């Protein structure tokens, strides 16, 4: 009977140890998957940030060009008016 009890106890301990090993392995796999998920999320945030940065740069460049075009148009208009005024003054002499 003592041998049977020892055998049962040995089997229970080995089963418990095997179960603990399985739980440990599952925890390692879960941690690895969580790490991969974090890495993927970080990569996506980086891509989105880069894309947003390009949009801002493009908008700034477009604004700069719009301001430049508007300034040139205004200067050209002022130059035309000044020439017209000079012609009128020359015609009145």
45-92 residue pLDDT tens = 999 999 999 999 888 888 988 899 999 999 999 999 999 999 888 887
pLDDT at 13 over 70: no
Cβ atoms within 10 A of the Cβ of 26, count?
10
CA 49 to chain centre: 3
Res 7: pLDDT: 65
Sequence-ordered alpha helix ranges (H) in 1-93? 2-92
| Phi, psi of 5, deg, nearest 5 | -65, -45
pLDDT of residue 11: 66
């Amino acid at each position: 009977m003592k041998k049977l009890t020892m055998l049962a106890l040995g089997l229970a301990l080995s089963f418990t140890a095997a179960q603990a090993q399985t739980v440990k392995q599952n925890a390692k796999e879960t941690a690895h998957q969580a790490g991969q998920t974090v890495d993927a999320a970080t990569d996506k945030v980086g891509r989105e940030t880069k894309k947003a940065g390009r949009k801002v740069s493009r908008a700034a460049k477009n604004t700069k060009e719009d301001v430049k075009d508007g300034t040139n148009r205004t200067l050209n208009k002022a130059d035309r008016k000044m020439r017209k005024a000079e012609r009128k003054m020359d015609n009145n002499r």
